Chain A
Amino acid sequence: MSDDAATHMITYESDVCIVGGGISAAMLAQKLAELKPGIAITIVEAGVKIFDFQNRTEYRQRSLDYGENAWPGDFIDDQAGAGVISRTMAVGGSALHWGGVTNRFSEEDLTLKSRYGLAVDWPLAWADLERHYCEAERRLGVSGEPGPLPEDRRSEPYPMPPMPLSYNLVQLKQWAERSGIPFQGTPQAKNTRPYDGRSACLRCNTCEICPTGARYSPDFTFKQLLAAKKITLHDRTQVRKLIASPDRKRIAAVQAVSRAAGGEAVEYRAKTFVIASGYAWSPHLLLLSDVANSSGLVGKYMTGHAFIGGQIELDAALFPGMNEQHSLISRKFFRCAADAPFVRHDLRVWESSAGRDPRLKDAAGTLLLGDALLADWRGRTKRGAARVRAYYDVHPSADSTLTLDSAKKNRFGDPLPVIRHVLDDATRSRADATRTHIRGLFELLAKANNGRLLNVSEGNYLDHPGGGCRMGTDPASSVCDSYGRTHDHDNLFVVGSPTLPTGGCTNATLTFVALTLRSAGAIAQG
């Protein structure tokens, strides 16, 4: 650390400076510390540390009872944007609220162009990514079972036995498979036995705030790294700009403001800089800094997956609340024959209480009190219900953007981001067929069991968003290479969700982490 007498700006120096303190940063720092023992790593995070694990049971209870934020203070008042942008800005990032589902993408996700003539291929091979999926599963601690489809073969077993299916899911699996579609429990970053110093799951039904630590959360990794003095973590320090070297081939420094030190300006100098600020704030920072954008593609091809959900009533006595966070998945539709109309999606099934909640008035509008309300409620629980959902593959156009909104600025005068998802022509042209296909599957599930499709609803946003700094081999059509190294600056990397060219058709966090771990080797080499 040095104090620049002329400007009174404190400067911190390290080998690697990571901007952002979410799950990608945690995994990257952990691996870098292993690859290069003694490496000096500084992590700069705008939000606060919420390391008070001892209070998590109380936070959970108040979240249940009052709907209070289970991660108090995990946001910055004036650091928000328009569009699908999580407000969470804290050490741990969005993964603090994570449900812990760790599905893998499939080989098709990486080869959309070569297989189907759609979107782009990813600039890496499936076997390469698969190795890093295994590594991500080990580091996070994933419990799961091998899938029934040969296409989903794995090179290593899951680190932990699968989460047991609850009674409800056992019933629903039998029910769902009568349709001829194979299902399995979703893999999850939740301990089914003590793992990595954390306890086994106690089925608290509140995975977004796990009181036992069984669900992986990046704060555990950060605490381990801090205790071992392997990282320096500066929270409440908001990075505002990357400074390029005079020849613009490298990044010379990062400029930030320390909220912890009363708004003092600070600077970080490092051999290598890594932007790990998620899909919104990574391209936002690059745009603010006017770096890494010779392609003009920073903030372009913002992606994610669309979804359609439904509720099905069925002949089964279920007990809602046994483990509402756990679900079944079928990966059968991750594949699509090259000569068939393109549609790719996952298919999920959860227990549900839809139509089976207590109500104040019956269907005739009669007010129900006391015993009458209980009798009405009981009468509607004789049949069970399932929630179903499909995340389906959609592809962004270049007009799917994150831009800077000069009309909305934070306290420092920096314009805030606006995200506008726009799908490409091919995706839009097949939208009706996709809806028809997925609805047909919901109806198939219902009919196989004397069930009834109660409703179908379509998501109005893209879930598990990514993109904005997409990877590729051609500097003219991508921002970074497959390791996240930006084409414009040798020592600047982007990791995790922003690098995805397309958003797949299932939960994406494991993929963000696997790609980040793959980047670690290149980052360690500098």
Chain B
Amino acid sequence: MARVTRRGALKTLGAAAVVPDFGLKATAFHLQADAPQLDPVMLAAIGEVVLPAEADRKAAIAAFVRWVRAYKEGADTDHGYGNTRIRATGPSPSRSYPAQIAALESSARAAGAASFPQAPLDVRRGILEAAIAGAKIERLPARPTGGHVAADLMGHYFNSSAASDLCYRAAIGRDLCRGLQDSEKAPAPLPTPGASRGDVR
């Protein structure tokens, strides 16, 4: 599959994207061999709406892309204790994303914007709210499901160790190996808003 370049992305999206530069634009994300690629500018435009301003959005989006890229279809899932059913992971959620992203673009143009990333924030918010409602997503997905790329990005971030730290404003580090020392003490406050020692999954 062709690599999405900075030039190619901008050609698609039009000139002078208004989304913040999360340092992602020069990076193309390679998914598994036959899965679609994710456009970093589009993800940044979505992330600005669905991820909190306090979060490290760049890290959150990069982690989401890593997750999608490393997804394995047909992998055995945890059968747990006492459970007699073996299940496998389904098709990559990213297979649903191109159509969803195209619909976002279409909605943005219908709203008078040159592209979704170039649309004003409130327009993008309205488009995403409608898209999530249209996809009948009622709950934050624990893991990306393909229901909608925006909900998946949110679910991936808000269920992460980093988001938990941000919520509690404390370095809990839920998914890290932290050692036993000082575990009887309250976790240290996050040093500054938005900073976190916890890795985004």
Contact = CB atoms under 8 A, between A and B. Distances in A.
Interface in A162-177: 163-167, 170
Contacts of B85: 87
B175 A370 contact: no
Interface residues of B: mostly helix, strand, loop or mixed? loop
Contacts of B48: 370
Interface string A414-430: 00000000000000000
B133 interface: yes
Interface string B41-57: 00000001111111100
Interface string A300-335: 000000000000000000011111000000000000
Contacts of B58: none
B50 to A, nearest CB: 5
Interface in A52-70: 62-70
A322 B175 CA distance: 9
A374 interface: yes
Which of under 10, 10 to 19, 20 to 34, or 35 or more describes the interface residues of A? 35 or more
Contacts of B80: 97
A374 B186 contact: no
Contact of B185 (A75, A167, A202, A461): A167
Contacts of B125: 369
A87 B79 CA distance: 7
A87 B86 contact: yes
Interface residues of B, number: 61
Interface in B91-149: 125, 128-129, 132-133, 137-140, 143
B187 A319 contact: yes
A185 to B, nearest CB: 11
B3 interface: no
The CB with the most chain A CB atoms within 10 A, among B77, B78, B173, is that of B78
Contact of A66 (B49, B89, B129, B170): B89
B53 A323 contact: no
A370 B176 contact: no
B89 A322 contact: no
B83 A319 contact: no
A361 B140 CA distance: 8
Contacts of A463: 82
Interface stretch (B7-15, B18-26, B32-40, B151-159): B151-159
A435 interface: no
B177 to A, nearest CB: 4
Interface in B49-83: 49-55, 67, 70-72, 75-83
B163 A358 contact: yes
Interface in B152-197: 154, 158-159, 161, 163-164, 166-168, 170, 172-180, 183-187
B6 interface: no
B67 A360 contact: no
Contacts of B183: 164-167, 203, 322-323
Given A65-B67, A319-B187, A360 B81 contact: no
A69 B89 CA distance: 10
A70 B76 CA distance: 9
Contacts of B51: 370
A373 B170 CA distance: 18
Interface string A458-485: 0001010100000000000000000000
B129 A367 contact: yes
A442 B27 CA distance: 53
Given A94-B81, A360-B140, A203 B178 contact: yes
Interface stretch (A41-49, A76-84, A486-494, A514-522): A76-84
Contact of B143 (A66, A73, A205): A66
Interface of B: 48-55, 67, 70-72, 75-86, 89, 125, 128-129, 132-133, 137-140, 143, 151, 154, 158-159, 161, 163-164, 166-168, 170, 172-180, 183-187, 201
Given A66-B75, A69-B78, 20 more contacts: A65-B143, A68-B78, A69-B75, A84-B82, A86-B83, A165-B183, A167-B183, A167-B185, A322-B172, A358-B158, A358-B167, A367-B132, A369-B128, A370-B49, A371-B54, A373-B52, A373-B140, A374-B54, A374-B166, A374-B167
28 contacts: A66-B75, A68-B78, A69-B78, A72-B76, A81-B84, A86-B83, A88-B79, A164-B180, A167-B185, A167-B187, A170-B184, A192-B180, A202-B177, A319-B187, A320-B164, A321-B161, A321-B173, A321-B175, A323-B183, A358-B158, A360-B139, A361-B139, A369-B49, A369-B154, A371-B52, A371-B54, A374-B52, A374-B167
